[in-house]
């Protein structure tokens, strides 16, 4: 759904839409990192200054390329679905920018991350709010328009 609503920052998104997109992103990144490790990416050789680095294999570059393509393709939809999720909580999307800025400050970044996680887990406001109709209301025809 977030890829269908690629750059749509208006409206509301349910928890299910947000967390399924997060799960998809996690699975794609896991597969790409598995390809990179299978292709010769080794964390141990990075910490040992005496180790002679080996050239990464084809699978490493395939995984890295796929990861780069997915991250670039999913950047705008991930921001959009997060803003719509905040709209479902009847909050402005600018709160997301506040969380990003707060995550740059040491110590406060932990509090901001936990608070944002809890906020994304909470249910949306029941009924219509200032950002649109309730996406969970089956009687609202506007949701499916």
4 belongs to a structural domain: no
6 belongs to a structural domain: no
8 belongs to a structural domain: no
**Contacts (Cβ under 8 Å, ≥6 apart) of 82:** 18, 93, 96, 120
Bridge partners (DSSP) listed for residue 129: 132
The rounded distance, in Å, linking the Cα atoms of 145 and 30 is 35
> Which of 70, 6, 86 shows the shortest CA–CA distance to 35?
70
The rounded distance, in Å, linking the Cα atoms of 140 and 145 is 10
- Domain ranges, residue 113: 15-144
Give the number of domains in the chain.
1
62 belongs to a structural domain: yes
Token pair, residue 96, equals: 């997301």
CA 133 to chain centre: 24
**pLDDT tens-place string over residues 61-119:** 899 999 999 999 999 999 999 999 999 888 888 999 999 999 999 999 999 999 999 99
7 belongs to a structural domain: no
1 belongs to a structural domain: no
9 belongs to a structural domain: no
């Amino acid at each position: 759904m977030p890829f269908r609503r690629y750059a749509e920052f208006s409206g509301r998104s349910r928890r299910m839409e947000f967390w399924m997109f997060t799960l998809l992103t996690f699975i794609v990144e896991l597969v790409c990192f598995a390809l990179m490790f299978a292709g010769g990416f080794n964390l141990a050789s990075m910490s040992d200054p005496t180790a002679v680095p080996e050239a990464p294999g084809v699978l490493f570059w395939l995984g890295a390329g796929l990861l780069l393509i997915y991250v670039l393709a999913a950047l705008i939809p991930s921001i959009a679905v997060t803003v719509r999720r905040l709209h479902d909580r009847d909050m402005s999307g600018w709160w997301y920018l506040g969380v990003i800025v707060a995550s740059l400050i040491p110590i406060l970044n932990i509090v901001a991350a936990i608070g944002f996680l809890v906020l994304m887990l909470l249910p949306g406001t029941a009924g219509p709010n200032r950002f649109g109709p309730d996406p969970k209301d089956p009687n609202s025809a506007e949701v499916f328009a």
